Amino acid sequence: MSATHPQPQITGGAPEKGLGHPRWVRLSHWIVAASVLTLAFSGFVILMAHPRLYWGRVGNELTPALIELPISRNYHHTGFGPATPFFDRPGSPVTAVRTYDIFNQNGWGRSLHFLAGWFLVVTGTLYVLAGLCGGHFRRDLVPRAGELAPRLLWRDLADHARFRIQAAAGGPPYGLLQKASYCVVVFIALPLMLITGLAMAPAVTAAYPFLADVFGGSQSARTVHFFVFASLVLFLLVHVLMVILSGFGRQMRAMTLGSKS
């Protein structure tokens, strides 16, 4: 790397000794990474079968959508026979025969989604237990009280915005925004994905209806599931960008081989 390279500015210089990540963190990181990528891919395939999002309990091609996504040939298809009302009254709900051969790969798509989901749930549960018991969360992930001063937060934001990225140690200690984003992913986004996913399952909501109720219905849960997915994709892009900007080789070594000090 040329020293005259203008941007990004890597500040602080490479640390002498990277602490690296413990083996259980490295192992769970890559299992979670593979599971999340598989879930995102299969989830997208599932969404392509019905690229319409709704709010509430009910939503289908004969009811209005909140958002329609142009991601498969099913987008705005009009392949329906004449609508027949269920009741003899104005404004009655209707039925109609679908005459359009929709894109639908949910046979393998759904099974792959849940298979990856199992890997994520099992690994994630063990990771959270280990992180809680071993002090990793308290020590490395949760911002300390003093760190939460608006001034520090603002400075970290401004530094990121100017691409002034601290050279990575290849492991903790983490920056303030880094801690915040990992905490949001681990403690909010991924659990929310699991809960909104289960809120769409008829056998699960039969036993635990509040899972769907807290979102206002299973279609609302599906919509939240989609937006949290979109946020996680955004996180993934920024995460990979930051790994590159803060020293790709050192970061990858720390998360694969661990650091030799």
Partner 1 sequence: MKDPQLLITRRSLITGLASAGGLLLAGCSEQGPPTYGNVLRMGDLLTYRAQRLLLPRHALVREYDRRDISSMPATGTANPGDSKEEAFSATHGPVFEQLHAGGFADYRLSIEGLVSRPGSYSLEDLKRFPARTQITKHTCEEGWTAIAEWTGVPLRRVLEAAGVQPQARFVNFHAFDEDADGIDMLDALHPQTILAYGMNGRDIPLSHGAPLRLRVETQLGYKSMKFLRRIVVTDRFDDMGKLGPLQNGWAWYVGI
List contacts with partner 1 (CB under 8 A). 22-24, 27, 46-47, 49-50, 52, 57-63, 80-81, 84, 86-87, 93-98, 102, 104, 106-108, 110-112, 114-115, 118, 122, 125-126, 129-130, 133-134, 197-198, 200-207, 209, 218-219, 222
Closest separation between CB of residue 126 and partner 1, Å? 5
Closest separation between CB of residue 9 and partner 1, Å? 36
C-beta closer to partner 1: residue 73 or 155: 73
C-beta closer to partner 1: residue 39 or 180: 39
C-beta closer to partner 1: residue 58 or 188: 58
C-beta closer to partner 1: residue 26 or 253: 26
Using a 10 angstrom Cβ sphere, with 0-12 exposed, 13-18 middle and 19 or more buried, the burial of residue 45 is buried
C-beta closer to partner 1: residue 50 or 160: 50
Distant-in-sequence, close-in-space partners of 11: CB < 8 Å, separation ≥ 6: 164, 165, 166, 167
Q: How many residues would you count in the chain?
A: 261
C-beta closer to partner 1: residue 45 or 245: 45
Distance CA 74, CA 69 (A): 9
Closest separation between CB of residue 198 and partner 1, Å? 7
C-beta closer to partner 1: residue 27 or 40: 27
CB 71 within 8 A of CB 47: yes
Closest separation between CB of residue 76 and partner 1, Å? 15
Q: Could you please report the per-residue DSSP string of 171-216? A: SSSPPHHHHHHHHIIIIIIHHHHHHHHHTT-HHHHHH-THHHHTTT
Peptide bond into 173 cis (omega under 30): yes
Strand partners, 9: 164
Closest separation between CB of residue 111 and partner 1, Å? 4
Closest separation between CB of residue 108 and partner 1, Å? 6
Amino acid at 201: A
Closest separation between CB of residue 53 and partner 1, Å? 9
Q: Which of 126, 146, 145, 123 is nearest to 134 (CA)?
A: 126
Distance CA 164, CA 11 (A): 7
